[in-house]
Amino acid sequence: MSNNPEDNSIWEAVNVNNLRQKANVSVSMPLQVPIISSGFGNRIDPLTGKIKFHYGLDFRGSSDSIMAILPGTIKKVAYSRSLGNYVEVEHGEFKTIYGHLSQILVREKIEIIAGTVLGITGSTGRSTGEHLHFAIKHRGKAINPVPFLNLVYRRVEMEARKKSKRMASELTSK
Ligand SMILES: [Zn+2]
C-alpha cells in the first residue's frame, strides 16, 4: 500500500462494499487492452474545435467488453445525449462511469464484482467514433482517473503474480 492518503481511501471505499472476499479478483482494468486516446483535462473538443475540459479518459474500442474496475452496485443504466448509453457504478465514496456503449449488459441495483462485464464499447451519444469514455467521481467530483488506474493496474499485476506462484507451488508439491 502506498503512503499517499488518497490511495488508501480508495481501498477503504472498496472495503465499504465488503465484496472483496467474495470476488476472485479485487480489481480489474476497464478493458482487456486499455489504450488511452484522449486524456483528462483541457483539450480541443473534437466536435466543436473549441477548448473544453474533458472530465474523463477515452480508450480505444472495437466491440470490446467493458469491465467494472472495482466491486460495487450498479447505480444507473441510462442514455444521455452526451454519454450515449452509459453505466454508473457506485463503490463507496467513488463512482465510475462508462460511456458511449453500444450494448449494456447489466441492470440497475445489482451488486457486481470487479471484472463484471458491463457492456460493449460503441459510439452512442456525442462521439466521433467508437471509444470508451471512462470517468471517476469522488464524492461527486470528477478526478483524474490515471493515478487511480495505475494503482488498479499494480494490484492486477500483483494478484496475477501471486496466483501464478501459488499454481507453481501446487504443481511442484505433487
Ligand atoms: Zn471522453
pLDDT tens-digit profile, the chain (174 residues): 444 545 555 555 554 444 444 445 689 999 999 999 999 999 998 889 999 999 999 999 999 999 999 999 999 999 999 999 999 999 999 999 999 999 999 999 999 999 999 999 999 999 999 999 999 999 999 999 999 999 999 988 888 888 888 888 888 886
Range of the domain at 129: 10-172
Task: Tell whether 78 is covered by a domain.
Answer: yes
91 Cα–ligand 1 center, Å:
21
56 Cα–ligand 1 center, Å:
5
In this prediction, residue 174 carries a pLDDT of 65
Task: Tell whether 115 is covered by a domain.
Answer: yes
121 Cα–ligand 1 center, Å:
12
Q: Is the dihedral of CA 163, 121, 53, 55 positive or negative?
A: negative
Environment class of 69 (CB within 10 Å of its CB; exposed 0-12, middle 13-18, buried 19+): buried
The helix (H) or strand (E) run that includes residue 152 is helix 145-172
Write the CATH number for 44.
2.70.70.10
Count CB neighbours of 140 within 10 A.
7
In this prediction, residue 170 carries a pLDDT of 87
Domains in the chain, number: 1
- Report CA dihedral (157, 162, 163, 164) to the nearest 10 degrees: 90
Task: Tell whether 61 is covered by a domain.
Answer: yes
In this prediction, residue 16 carries a pLDDT of 42
Task: Tell whether 49 is covered by a domain.
Answer: yes
In this prediction, residue 105 carries a pLDDT of 97
Three-state DSSP class for residue 143: strand
In this prediction, residue 10 carries a pLDDT of 56
How far is Cα 89 from Cα 147, in angstroms, rounded to an integer?
A: 19
9 Cα–ligand 1 center, Å:
25
- Chain centroid to Cα 34, Å, comes to 10
In this prediction, residue 21 carries a pLDDT of 45
